[in-house]
Amino acid sequence: MAGQDAGWSLMSRRTLGSLLVGILLGLSTGVFLGWGPFPVEYKNSALSALAPHYQEEYTVMVAEGYRVDPEVNAALERLRPLGKENTIAYVIDLTERYISQSNIRAIPIMVALVEAIIGPDNLPPVMQLYRPTPTATSPAPPAP
């Protein structure tokens, strides 16, 4: 009898130990998979949740659309779902970043929108060079 009890005790300890080891293994694997290769994939997301790359592309698309639909308020309304605290400041910052990155394609598009939003007189000096229609007093754009 004593031998049988000892056997059961040994069995339950081994079972319990194996179970705990298994749980630890499974838990670590599950956490790794759930945060790593297979994270939650959200659907029904808002534009504000878009990856920064897509948000910037969206902003450029809206700015480009301003050439077709030249209504500043409509353009700002389209940018509002991005959820920026200050949409105008965001557009200006992005434009300045494109200028610093020499993003030739996006710069004139964005500058045109910034000019429409804040007015030609308030355009930052760095953007004056890239105005679509520079004034006579504007300095000439730098030579390539």
* Separation of alpha carbons 121 and 13, rounded Å: 81
Would you count residue 21 as binding another protein (CB under 8 A)? yes
Q: Determine, following the binding rule CB under 8 A, whether residue 9 of this chain makes contact with another protein.
A: no
Choosing from 2, 9, 19, 76, the residue that interacts with another protein (CB under 8 A) is 19
Shortest gap between Cβ of 116 and another protein (angstroms)? 12
The smaller minimum CB distance to another protein, of residues 38 and 93, is found at: 38
* Interaction between residue 119 and another protein (CB under 8 A): no
Looking from the CA of 28 toward its CB, the CA atoms found within 13 Å total 5
Neighbours of 138 (CB within 10 A): 14
Binding mask 46-85 for another protein (x = CB under 8 A): xx-xxxx-x--xx-xxx-xx-xxx-x--x---x--x----
In sequence order, the 6+-apart residues with CB closer than 8 A to the CB of 49 are 42
Task: Tell the residue number behind the tokens 């598009």, with chain if given.
Answer: 109
The alpha carbon of residue 62 and the mean position of all alpha carbons in its chain are separated, in whole angstroms, by 16
Q: Residue 139 CB, nearest distance to another protein (Å)?
A: 27
126 binds another protein (CB under 8 A): no
Contacts of 83 (CB under 8 A, 6+ apart): 46, 47, 48
In angstroms, rounded to a whole number, what is the distance separating the alpha carbons of residues 120 and 133? Answer: 10
Q: How far is the CB of 3 from another protein (least distance, A)?
A: 8
Residues engaged in binding another protein (CB under 8 A): 4, 7, 11, 14-35, 39-47, 49-52, 54, 57-58, 60-62, 64-65, 67-69, 71, 74, 78, 81
